[in-house]
Structure 1
Amino acid sequence: MHHTRRHVIMGAASIALMAPFSGISRASLSEAEFSPRDGELDFDVFRNGSAIGHHTIDLQQDGNRTTARIDILLEVGIGPLVLYRYRHQNTEIWEDGSFKSFASKTDDDGTPYAVQAVRDQSVIRVTRDHDEDYEIDGLGILPTTYWNEQTVHCSRLLDTQKGRVMAVTVMPQGWQTVRTAAGMVEAQGFAISGDIELNLWYDRKNQWTKLSFPFKGDEFDYQLV
């Protein structure tokens, strides 16, 4: 939640990196290691063990184009009283295994953000309603949506809430057993540090399986439904 400070807190966006993993090359970001898929990834989000919302990614494949529609809704409160509400919606496009664009809207407890990023050959143009527009070199950078396992092979991530470039370092944590709503599964863990701090897991089919991060003494966890 796929991340400004609150965006990271709620897991709505930011990470990627080109790490020195054995057998992994920079080419994996532009070549056909990306495997398109249809279907939905649905996570329940927990804060200190209590459910606070959901993070859903609807993946649709049409020929060489993959569309990912992301919806995040998080509410923290006391009983029926909502003290904090976060809503993030994002549509992301890939073609031929390469990231092409995203367009996002966020309501961070009453503060709105809108970001659009479009790749034009080797450049990504970022348009923001709350800050200056800019262009960046698009090599080795992906948006902070996490569903694509290539995320852990990048050194930079493009924050989908505020459109900022996030520098990250990724360290593999080995294969672990993680809990999902359907039972325990084996997944490889990755610790992300730098402009964002969190942990990601992907199963043996390279499907995003889990996310967790600490924030101000609280623990946030995603559980795959």
Structure 2
Amino acid sequence: MTLHRRSFLAAGLALTATPALALPRSLAFSVERDGVKIGEHRMSFSGDDASPTVTTEVEMLVKIGAVPIYRYRHQATERWRGGRFASLSTITDANGRRRTVEAVREADAVNIAYGKKRITAAPTTAPLTHWNPQALSGPLFNPQEGKLLSVTGRRRQDSLITPDGRRAAVLWSLREEAEIDDWYDADGAWLALRGKLKDGSVMIYRRI
């Protein structure tokens, strides 16, 4: 984003329903930081394409030599109904600091709770969980911290080759409070991610 640690993940959709994606049953990524594998990001999809339940598990470990300096684990359950974001529940442990986020879309707002804080966001707001390219043009919130994100998503026609050399059909770039590129295949399935971290290092997701 400049990708903060809190922004490792994420996606959402507008209030007006759009055509359902052809979702896979599962996605798995190897996560690299400056060319070194630091973990894996796995997602599973149940239900139909318009109303999926998405379960996410992420584990990362950053080392200097043999010494662990950063441990990260993230679990999320995300629900969509009729092509619209419905709810999200997450638990994140970053170096022993545990955070929870609960978000629910009502008729006229998305209500987000993290810790003792509460946010009422626009009804088109969704979590930045990356798997859904149809969400990236709308307002987004951080699924690990519950905060609204100041980002602009733009669909691009160039650079349609992923970091691991795969041909993509769609590339979305997120900028402002982020520097992230996401690639998708012709069915809308997430293929890869590249993001710049706050310390200047580069994170890459490669499908496995």
TM-score computed with the length of structure 1 as normaliser: 0.82
Alignment correspondent of 2:130: 146
- Write the mapping of 1:120-159 to structure 2, written as runs, cut at 5 A: 120-129=106-115, 131-139=116-124, 141-154=125-138, 156-159=139-142
Q: Residues 78, 69 of structure 1: CA spacing in aligned structure 2 closer, same or farther, 3 A cutoff? A: same
1:66 aligns with 2:49: no
Alignment correspondent of 2:62: 76
Paired residue type of 2:172? F
Alignment correspondent of 1:213: 195
Q: Which residue of 171, 195, 198 corresponds with 2:154?
A: 171
Paired residue type of 1:166? L
Which whole-Å CA distance do the structure 2 matches of 1:213 and 1:64 have between them? Answer: 28
Which whole-Å CA distance do the structure 1 matches of 2:113 and 2:3 have between them? Answer: 17
Alignment correspondent of 1:116: 102
1:161 shift after superposition: 0.7
Q: Aligned residue pairs: how many?
A: 206
Paired residue type of 1:67? T
- Write the mapping of 1:80-99 to structure 2, written as runs, cut at 5 A: 80-99=66-85
Please tell me the root mean square deviation across aligned C-alpha atoms, in Å.
Answer: 2.4
| Secondary structure, counterpart of 2:5 in structure 1 | helix
Structure 1, unaligned stretches of length 5 or more? 18-27
> Contact conserved, 1:103 with 1:114, CA < 8 A, in 2?
yes
Task: Give me the identity figure in percent.
Answer: 28
> Contact conserved, 1:38 with 1:60, CA < 8 A, in 2?
no
1:101 aligns with 2:100: no
Higher strand share: 1
| 1:10-69 CA distance string (max 9 Å, x none) | x223x679xxxxxxxxxx652241225351010100011111001111111158631000
| 1:81-114 CA distance string (max 9 Å, x none) | 3210111110000111111000000001111110
Alignment correspondent of 2:4: 5
Q: Residues 80, 100 of structure 1: CA spacing in aligned structure 2 closer, same or farther, 3 A cutoff? A: same
Which whole-Å CA distance do the structure 2 matches of 1:221 and 1:88 have between them? Answer: 17
Which whole-Å CA distance do the structure 1 matches of 2:27 and 2:15 have between them? Answer: 22
